[in-house]
């Protein structure tokens, strides 16, 4: 009996068996991001220099802190805005998020960008 060069069965990239399940993507969930956004709004509202605000999602166990990293600047609409970094920790997963928020006419800070921080982009 000879064997051909082709396998009897092949798997595609998305295929998996019941014994091997693809790992879920690690990183912040939308709920985790909501807690981080609230912390960003809180720390920016306080306006303390060199301050951070911790956050924690009790459902996922994720936590971190938000720290403003730059002075306020005016955006294209003339609103006062600030950039910040947020840490993200969940189990053995650790990462950083970068974001920016602008003050609304009512005086609240609204986060309008929050994404993974890539040190190479700095």
Q: Domain spans of the chain?
A: 30-117
Contact predicate 104/90, CB 8 Å: no
Mind listing the pLDDT tens digit for each residue in 48-101? 778 999 999 999 999 999 999 988 999 999 999 999 999 999 999 999 999 999
The whole-number pLDDT of residue 79 equals 93
Alpha-carbon distance of 85 to 106, in angstroms, equals: 24
**What's the average model confidence in pLDDT over 20-32?**
68
Average predicted confidence (pLDDT) for the chain: 82
What is the DSSP track for 7-63?
Answer: -SS---TT---SSS-PPPPPS--HHHHHHHHHHHHHHHHH--TT--EEEE-TTT--E
The alpha carbon dihedral of 45, 54, 97, 33 has a sign of negative
């Amino acid at each position: 009996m000879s064997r051909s060069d082709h396998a009897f069965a092949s798997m595609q990239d998305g295929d998996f068996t019941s014994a091997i399940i693809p790992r879920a993507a690690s990183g912040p969930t939308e709920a985790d991001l909501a807690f981080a956004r609230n912390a960003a709004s809180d720390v920016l509202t306080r306006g303390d220099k060199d301050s951070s605000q911790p956050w924690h999602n009790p459902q996922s166990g994720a936590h971190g802190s938000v720290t403003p990293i730059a002075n306020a600047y005016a955006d294209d609409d003339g609103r006062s805005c600030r950039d910040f970094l947020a840490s993200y920790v969940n189990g053995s997963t650790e990462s950083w998020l970068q974001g920016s928020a602008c003050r609304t006419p009512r005086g609240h800070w609204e986060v309008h960008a929050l994404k993974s921080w890539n040190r190479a982009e700095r």
